[in-house]
Amino acid sequence: MKQKACVGLNPNSYVHLTEHLAPLCVAMGMPLLLTDEKHAINSQKLYPQLKILLHDWEDVTPRYLIENFDVFFQSEPWHRHDFYAKFQGLEKAFQKEVRNVHCPHGFSDKIFWLEKSVWEDIVLIYGQNMLDLFKDFKILNHLNVAPRTGNYRYLYYKMFQTHFDSIAEELVWGKFKKKQTTILYAPTCHDQDHTTSFMHAQAIFENLPEDYNLLVKIHPALEETDGPALYQMIGKYEKKENIIFVQDFPVIYPLLARSDIYLGDMSSIGYDFLTFNRPMFFLNQRKRDVQKDRNLFLYRCGFEIQPHNYTQFYQILEKELCFDQARYDQIRQDIYQYTFGEEVSFDHLKEMIYQATFSPKKFD
């Protein structure tokens, strides 16, 4: 089989995309191309065995890419028709074919983002849940080639767990004054469906009991869409000894591994947290119907909180925790398996993806 030169692409140097691309780059034995020096240095420290190419943004042109690589891996959307058109002339000039592999940045039930991935040249899928989501929204037929990755980020975490846990202790966990039950609050970004709960979560911060720690994982996009409100909220509560806001630490699994309880809304981190089968609570900001709404599929794995009950969250938490394992233990295991499937070794993952790059292009 002909050897192909592969590269991970994150030319805008988005930290949350590097979190998904870095393990894939290690698995594929390929470099990750970045354009921001500070982010490149931080990524080198965070992700073991990651090789980085640092280039000026204006130098990352289609001509540069086709001259040096055969397969591109990235997490930003690139409709395959646009991708094919962009490189059609260059492919003729260089007498070679290039392919693009889309790596989704997590799995959530927010279809408006995932639906774009069916139009990619090649798209990586986590498991059956993702395929069924496409099927339910009648877009599965647009899919081209889709190798299954399983939960490769968790596998990467386990491979280098000592490193990740150590750096998380230094940069995050060590900031808490007391070691006590920790709630991880991971609100999603302010998207077109307005699903984030963060701007309405004052009661979660205000009413936090002294015998709980609250770890707040800030979505990077919140800084872009709601910067003033975000910093106002952080400024108001960051001095509380049992609240830590995490903004510059994109690695998620060393945070999940030590969190006792999950609190979220529509973030893909909720599906990641299923790995540990621990109590989950969901803030249903838009009061959607959990029984009928496919976009709230994950909510079956824990207890739903309506907006009018946000002020009573901790009372509800104390009341419901004793029933958690009986109600949700098996369903969380089932949904994790449904979402990620069996673990895929890095060797097998590399082989499957590499074979997919020899598949025919899909022009319809």
Which pLDDT band holds residue 193 (cuts at 50, 70, 90)? low
* pLDDT grade for 152, boundaries at 50, 70 and 90: very high
Confidence at residue 195, expressed as pLDDT on a 0 to 100 scale: 65
Give yes or no: residues 132 and 274 share one domain.
no
Structural domain containing residue 215: 165-340
Residue 155 in any domain: the answer is: no
Residue 192's pLDDT is 58
User: Which strands, in side-by-side order, build the sheet including 261-264?
Assistant: 243-246, 213-217, 182-186, 261-264, 280-283, 303-305
Write phi, then psi, for 98 (nearest 5 degrees): -115, 150
Is residue 175, in this structure, part of any structural domain at all?
Answer: yes
- The residue whose two tokens read 């991971």 is 186
The Cα 23–Cα 261 span in angstroms is 26
- Residue 24 inside a domain? The answer is yes
* Residue that the structure tokens 């081209």 belong to: 144
In a domain, 158, yes or no: no
| Tens digits of residue pLDDT in 263-293 | 999 899 999 999 999 999 999 988 888 888 9
Does 203 share its domain with 139?
no
Is residue 34 within 8 A of residue 44, CB to CB? The reply is no
Q: What pairing do the DSSP bridges indicate for beta strands 122-123 and 99-102? A: parallel
**Those residues with Cβ within 8 angstroms of residue 56's Cβ, 6 or more apart along the chain or in another chain:** 35
In the prediction, which pLDDT does 93 show? Answer: 98
β-strands 71-74, 52-54 pairing: unpaired
> Is residue 190 in some structural domain?
yes
Q: Quick one: pLDDT at residue 285? A: 85
Spatial CB neighbours of 139, under 8 Å, sequence gap ≥ 6:
115, 118
CB contact at 8 A, 102 and 121: yes
Q: Is the same domain home to 169 and 251?
A: yes
Structure confidence by residue, pLDDT tens digits, 90-134: 999 999 999 999 999 999 887 777 889 999 999 999 999 999 999
**Interatomic CA distance for residues 204 and 314, integer angstroms:** 8
* 116 and 26 belong to one structural domain: yes
- In the predicted model, is pLDDT for residue 82 greater than 60? yes
Residue burial 15-30, b: 16+ Cβ < 10 Å; e: rest: bbbbbbbbbbbbbbeb
pLDDT value for 197: 87
Question: Is pLDDT at 30 greater than 60 in this prediction?
Answer: yes
Q: Are 279 and 324 in contact (CB under 8 A)?
A: yes
Same domain (yes/no): 139, 205: no
CATH code of 280's domain: 3.40.50.12580
pLDDT for the residue numbered 1 = 58
Together in a domain, 132 and 185: no
Q: Residues with Cβ < 8 Å from 326, sequence gap 6 or more? A: none
pTM: 0.96
Do residues 12 and 140 both lie within one domain?
yes
Residue 300 sits in the same domain as residue 287: yes
Q: By C-alpha distance, which of 35, 38, 44 is closest to 10?
A: 35
Same-domain status, 194 and 65: no
* pLDDT for residue 230: 87
- Given a cut of 70, whether residue 190 has pLDDT beyond it is no
Looking at the structure, do residues 192 and 256 belong to the same domain, yes or no? yes
- Please state, in angstroms and rounded to a whole number, the distance separating the CA atoms of residues 321 and 323: 5
Instruction: Determine, yes or no, domain membership for 160.
Output: no
Compute the average pLDDT of residues 8-29: 97
pLDDT in tens, 303-341: 999 999 999 999 999 999 999 999 999 999 999 999 999
Q: Is residue 62 part of a domain?
A: yes
Number of folded domains that form the chain: 2
Helix, strand or coil for residue 329? helix
Residue 231 and residue 88 share a domain: no
Q: What is the CATH number of the domain that holds 126?
A: 3.40.50
| β-bridge mates for residue 53, sequence order | 33
Residues 6+ apart with CB under 8 A from 200: 285, 307, 310
Rounded CA gap, 153 and 253, in Å? 8
Q: Are residues 234 and 126 in the same domain?
A: no
**C-beta separation of 3 from 322 below 8 A:** no
Q: Which has the closest alpha carbon to 78: 153, 17, 138?
A: 17
Asked, for residue 122, whether it belongs to a domain, the answer is yes
Beta bridge partners of 43: none
